[in-house]
Amino acid sequence: MDEMFAKKLRILADAAKYDASCSSSGAPKRTAGKGELGSTTGAGICHAYTPDGRCISLLKILLTNYCLFDCAYCVNRRSSNVQRAKFSVEEVVTLTVEFYKRNYIEGLFLSSGIIKSPDHTMELLTRVAKSLRRDHGFRGYIHLKSIPEASPWLIEEAGLYADRLSINVELPTEASLERLAPEKDGAVIQHAIAQIGERIVEAKAEKRRFSPAGQSTQVIVGADATTDEALIRKSALLYGSYNLKRVYYSAFSPIPDGSTILPLTSPPLQREHRLYQGDWLLRYYAFTPDDVADATEDGMLSLDIDPKLAWALKHRHRFPVDVNAADREALLRVPGLGARAVDKIIRARRHTRLRLDDVARLTSALKRARPFLIAADYHPAGGLTDRLDLRARLADPPQQLSLF
Amino acid sequence: MGVPPPGLPPCAEGAGSCSGTLEAVDLSLGADLDGFRAAARRLAGRRVPPERVLWSIGEAPGLFGTPTPSPDDEAPLSLPRGVGAMVARVVLHRDPERYALLYELIWRSLHGERRLLEVSSDPLVHRLERMAKAIARDLHKMHAFLRFRRVEAREPERFVAWFEPDHHILGAAAPFFVERFRSLHWTILTPEASARWDGTRLTYGPPGRREDAPAQDGFEAGWRDYYESTFNPARTNLSAMRAEMPKKYWRNMPETAAIPGLVRQAAARTGAMIEREPQMPVKRNPARAVAAMADQAPDSLEALNAIIRRSEPLVPGATQAVLGEGPVGATIAFVGEQPGDQEDRQGRPFVGPAGQLLSRALEEAGIARGEAYLTNAVKHFKFEERGKRRIHQKPTAGEVSHYRWWLDRELDFVAPRLVVALGATAVLALTGKQIPITRARGPAQFEKPYAGFITVHPSYLLRLPDEAKAEAYAAFVADLRRVHDLGRSLAA
């Protein structure tokens, strides 16, 4: 790699890193045939971790960080003074293939600033994916960030080659979008997400290939005043009505050459963490958006306890739950019991009566679970769930997971 | 020593060696699945309880991932579901106790606890599950953290990797690399054995050494650049990194050399970002570019056609996109279904058998084909290959809606007074609804700026039995005469 190429790579990787999604999951299992390169595994693989604890699964870069838009939260907005660069289609293809051959990555996550026009930009993105598939027999993972302002047929063409398409909601409310991203139009974004969603459902029914790993999006947390409750409700809408696979929450992060209308500090990373936990409750624990809202105080999730525990502390009359008798839904509500632990409990209790020691072997968070459950040889004495200091006893020590 | 389960003799009749004494089983180094399986069959067949077996691991190296048919003549054991898979997994573990634990699992599963594996809370099952999980993690980390280096100046490209797994997993890990890097030639070296793929065959060989792999690779510096650039110093979280990428892997991963520097500078970089005064943008007043950006829609039929011509068929196969044909401003536009075999070859609409029939009917109805605009709802031919023939396949509703964007704009540019839908697909494309032709035949309202008319597609006439053809053709021509009249009255 020559120095010019390496320099572009540094600029365009740096410019892409504020997108939180990195997952290479959800694609149908594929393997390389004769003369082909690459496979997908279903769950995806993290090939390395950076000192921020985040996984590198895909080569996440921008085609270019020149951009006509001026979104305040974005490091690549046109009024930012960052260094600019642009890759050619061939350069991105080469980089992807060569990194892939060395087992550095699962595939490509390509996004771009908007240059010339949304259509022009979208065509370039699609050309990269097409060349990988057609010219290099590439069977690895491709995630394309779609340009919502691009013409519908171009977004649809991208779905022929990509495993996943995504369009970022970025800001959860119309008002924030207007203030921070004046050229963006919430309706256009929503419409493009709906369009992709429709095509995915249609193609699945007709057994055609179209973005088989579905669609995801990202919401920035902490750049405006939106509450956790509003964010979770927005996600529930995106999962329910638009069939999204994932919503990523990205704690707003200070960026080089920041804009004056942004908050000066970043929200605690713990807030992002709690939002992901709330999101999981929606998707895997049969919580309704109202249940998650119920776990908040004035719309905000507690930073020191997880949302499931917060919900349980507010609904103490629903506990303790008998691990040897309760149904799955009731067990899923027990703090400290994950969905897998619950399934193991249900399987094991068909053959044996579970004691507390047994439960200890099925979950790694017995301390949190204990006050809320009954086992064959255990009952939380004196109504432990009524103790006033329960919250304090179960809360995380403060400051964990904050900066440094 | 444990007590044999009640009701069972401790050993099979006449098996003198087992009463009271210990059975010694010696297995090979590594993951000796075949040796274990043979021993387990022999022992279980003779009802030797686990506490009477002494498992040891000898010096003979085992085989890696190439199970050979075992020469033993013991009958296979009929094990409950899941036990076989658990055995195959846990033999890969480096814990010397693994065989004893697995035999205990087999023994208990065969003696009254057939569903034992479902009881994850049982201490034995719990321990085996943890061992299986450790194997899964080791495999996953090998798939993730192994790094190939290219052997310079070799064609076809050859790659070599050095990796140090925790357990005996080379044989279990290698198929992943075959499925992923089938077109490359590669070797994976480990301290225990090596695996080699030559493009067609996977073979195992003796242990390797780190020095046997190339000392560097031309893309490693770029990879390290990428690793450094994708790190966000404002989010430093070392414990999360170490939990997923323990330090023991670092020495074989070229990018990890960057970690100390990144961590050292993180605080200063974040502080500088926060403290830096916002600056005025130095240049770029792209008012014109921003305005132009909003105006990207095609502004003429030619511009639209250029887009359609460049586009990819939704279902692969078609030779080319078949565009509409006829003058802009034509009074009448005909919309068919999709190009057929002839249309796909020639790149023009309505030139195959159905198109010829349409031409004849138009002429009889008094419509000059050259003055009308002819196009299709779907622009690419979709077919199924049967021998040398390409058999037309009806487009799906999803495909039709994909092409609707273009059809709508196309008709906007042509601006006809009357649009004739030929067949159900055209109706679907123009209205978004599935409407049976028999019921809707005749003048129609498409909720568009032009008048509508619905009739059959000429290919329908071709498929009718001969006795019905004449009558159906006459009805089609009669429809076209009404179209002709309607067109004239609209143009007037």
CB–CB contact A116 B293 (8 Å):
yes
CB–CB contact B270 A153 (8 Å):
no
CB–CB contact B398 A358 (8 Å):
no
Q: At residue A123, does pLDDT exceed 80?
A: yes
Residue with more model confidence, A328 or A202: A328
Give chain A positions within 8 Å (CB) of B245: 48-49
State how many domains chain B has: 4
Q: Are residues B248 and B264 in the same domain?
A: yes
Distance CA A267, CA A253 (A): 8
Q: Are residues B262 and B185 in the same domain?
A: no
Q: At residue A107, does pLDDT exceed 50?
A: yes
Q: Are residues B50 and B199 in the same domain?
A: no
Q: Are residues B195 and B46 in the same domain?
A: no
B185 contacts B197 by C-beta, under 8 angstroms? yes
Distance CA A8, CA A90 (A): 14
pLDDT of residue A400: 40
Mutate to test the interface with A, among B131, B179, B308, B404 (most CBs of A within 10 A): B179
A142 CA: distance to closest CA in chain B (Å): 15
A164-166/A141-145 β-pairing: parallel
Last residue of a domain, one of B121, B138, B155: B138
Record the tokens describing residue A97, joined without a space.
């293939």
Q: Which DSSP state fits B157?
A: -
List, as one string, the DSSP characters of A149-187.
Answer: TS-HHHHHHHHHH-SEEE---BSSSHHHHHHH-TT--HH
Q: Which of A101, A256, A348 sits opposite B159 (nearest CB)?
A: A101
Distance CA A218, CA A180 (A): 16
Q: Are residues B390 and B463 in the same domain?
A: yes
Dihedral sign computed on CA atoms, order B332, B338, B342, B346: positive
Q: Report the DSSP beta bridge partners of residue A375.
A: A378
Find the farthest-apart pair of alpha carbons in chain A and give their distance in angstroms, rounded: 71
Q: Are residues B132 and B152 in the same domain?
A: no
Amino acid at B469: K
B13 contacts B44 by C-beta, under 8 angstroms? no
H helical segments located in B29-80: 33-45
pLDDT of residue B316: 85
Does residue B223 lie within any of the structural domains?
no
Chain B: residue nearest A9 by CA?
B226
Dihedral sign computed on CA atoms, order A24, A25, A26, A30: positive
B3 contacts B50 by C-beta, under 8 angstroms? no
The 10 Å CB-count burial string (b at 16+, else e) for A214-227 is bbbbbbbbbbbebe
Q: Are residues B329 and B438 in the same domain?
A: yes
Nearest alpha carbon to residue A44 among A95, A105, A92: A105
B467 CA: distance to closest CA in chain A (Å): 36
pLDDT of residue B7: 40
pLDDT of residue B284: 55
Contacts of residue B463, defined as CB under 8 A and 6 or more positions apart, other chains included, come to none
Q: Provide the 10 A C-beta neighbour count for residue A85.
A: 19
Average pLDDT over residues A72-91: 91
Last residue of a domain, one of B113, B138, B163: B138
Mutate to test the interface with A, among B122, B147, B154, B237 (most CBs of A within 10 A): B237
Q: At residue A394, does pLDDT exceed 90?
A: no
CB–CB contact A351 B118 (8 Å):
yes
Does residue B356 lie within any of the structural domains?
yes
Q: Are residues B93 and B39 in the same domain?
A: yes
CB proximity A260 to B under 8 Å: yes
Determine the structural domain holding residue B249 and report its residue range: 230-275
CB proximity A209 to B under 8 Å: no
Q: At residue A121, does pLDDT exceed 50?
A: yes
Give chain B positions within 8 Å (CB) of A9: 222, 225-226, 229
Q: Are residues B87 and B166 in the same domain?
A: no
CB proximity A78 to B under 8 Å: yes
Q: Which residues of chain B have pLDDT under 70?
A: 1-20, 59-74, 277-286, 288-289
pLDDT of residue B4: 41
pLDDT of residue B66: 42
**Which ipTM was obtained for this model?**
0.91
CB proximity A59 to B under 8 Å: yes
> Chain A neighbours among B 248-307 (CB < 8 Å)?
253, 255-256, 259, 262-263, 266-267, 270, 273-274, 276, 278-279, 281-282, 284, 286, 289-290, 292-293, 296-297, 307
Q: Provide the 10 A C-beta neighbour count for residue B299.
A: 10
Does residue B245 lie within any of the structural domains?
yes
Does residue B221 lie within any of the structural domains?
no
Last residue of a domain, one of B186, B212, B238: B212
Q: Check which CATH number belongs to the domain holding B437 and give it.
A: 3.40.470.10
CB–CB contact A51 B259 (8 Å):
yes
Q: Provide the 10 A C-beta neighbour count for residue B173.
A: 23
Q: Are residues B386 and B421 in the same domain?
A: yes
Give chain A positions within 8 Å (CB) of B311: 153, 157
Instruction: Report the Cα–Cα distance between both ends of chain B, in Å, rounded.
Output: 108
Chain B: residue nearest A18 by CA?
B232
Q: Which of A98, A203, A265 sits opposite B398 (nearest CB)?
A: A203
pLDDT of residue A267: 67
List, as one string, the DSSP characters of B388-442.
Answer: TEEEE-PPPHHHHHHHHHHHHHHHHHH--SEEEEESHHHHHHHHSS---HHHH-E
Torsion over CA of A259, A261, A266 and A267, rounded to 10 degrees? -150
CB proximity A403 to B under 8 Å: yes
Amino acid at B292: A
B90 contacts B131 by C-beta, under 8 angstroms? yes
> Chain A neighbours among B 442-461 (CB < 8 Å)?
none
E-assigned strands of A10-125?
48-49, 55-56, 58-62, 107-111
Amino acid at A175: A
Mutate to test the interface with B, among A62, A66, A103 (most CBs of B within 10 A): A103
Mutate to test the interface with A, among B235, B250, B273, B380 (most CBs of A within 10 A): B235
Q: Are residues B374 and B246 in the same domain?
A: no
Distance CA B4, CA B206 (A): 43
Q: Which of A48, A118, A347 sits opposite B293 (nearest CB)?
A: A118
Residue with more model confidence, B142 or A367: B142
Record the tokens describing residue B365, joined without a space.
């109805």
> Chain B neighbours among A 268-327 (CB < 8 Å)?
269
Does residue B395 lie within any of the structural domains?
yes
Does residue B332 lie within any of the structural domains?
yes
CB–CB contact B231 A116 (8 Å):
no
pLDDT band at A45 (very low <50, low <70, confident <90, very high): very high
CB–CB contact B297 A151 (8 Å):
yes
Q: Which DSSP state fits B75?
A: P
Give chain A positions within 8 Å (CB) of B118: 347-348, 350-351
Q: Are residues B237 and B372 in the same domain?
A: no
> Chain A neighbours among B 11-70 (CB < 8 Å)?
none
CB–CB contact A257 B276 (8 Å):
yes
A21 CA: distance to closest CA in chain B (Å): 12
> Chain A neighbours among B 181-200 (CB < 8 Å)?
181-184
List, as one string, the DSSP characters of B234-289.
Answer: GG--HHHHHHHS-GGGGGG-GGGGGHHHHHHHHHHHHHHHHHSPP----S---HHH
Q: Is A46 exposed, middle or buried (0-12, 13-18, 19+ CB in 10 A)?
A: buried
The SS3 assignment for A386 reads helix
Distance CA A94, CA A81 (A): 29
Q: C-alpha distances in angstroms, A155 versus A125, A165, B304? A: 10, 9, 16
Nearest alpha carbon to residue A247 among A271, A215, A225: A215
List the single range of A89-98, A335-344, B65-74, B205-214 with lowest mean pLDDT: B65-74
Does residue B225 lie within any of the structural domains?
no
Q: Which DSSP state fits B57?
A: E
Nearest alpha carbon to residue A326 among A307, A342, A315, A302: A342
Does residue B280 lie within any of the structural domains?
no
How many residues comprise chain B? 492
Element (DSSP H or E) covering residue B363: helix B353-365
A228 contacts A257 by C-beta, under 8 angstroms? no
pLDDT of residue A385: 56
Residue with more model confidence, A389 or B475: B475
The 10 Å CB-count burial string (b at 16+, else e) for B332-352 is bbbbbbbbbbbbbbeebbbbb
Give chain A positions within 8 Å (CB) of B147: 102-104
Mutate to test the interface with A, among B81, B114, B120, B248 (most CBs of A within 10 A): B120
- Which position has the token pair 């959860």? A172
Q: Using alpha carbons only, how large is chain A's radius of gyration in Å?
A: 23
Contacts of residue B414, defined as CB under 8 A and 6 or more positions apart, other chains included, come to B301, B324, B326, B328, B329, B330, B333, B373
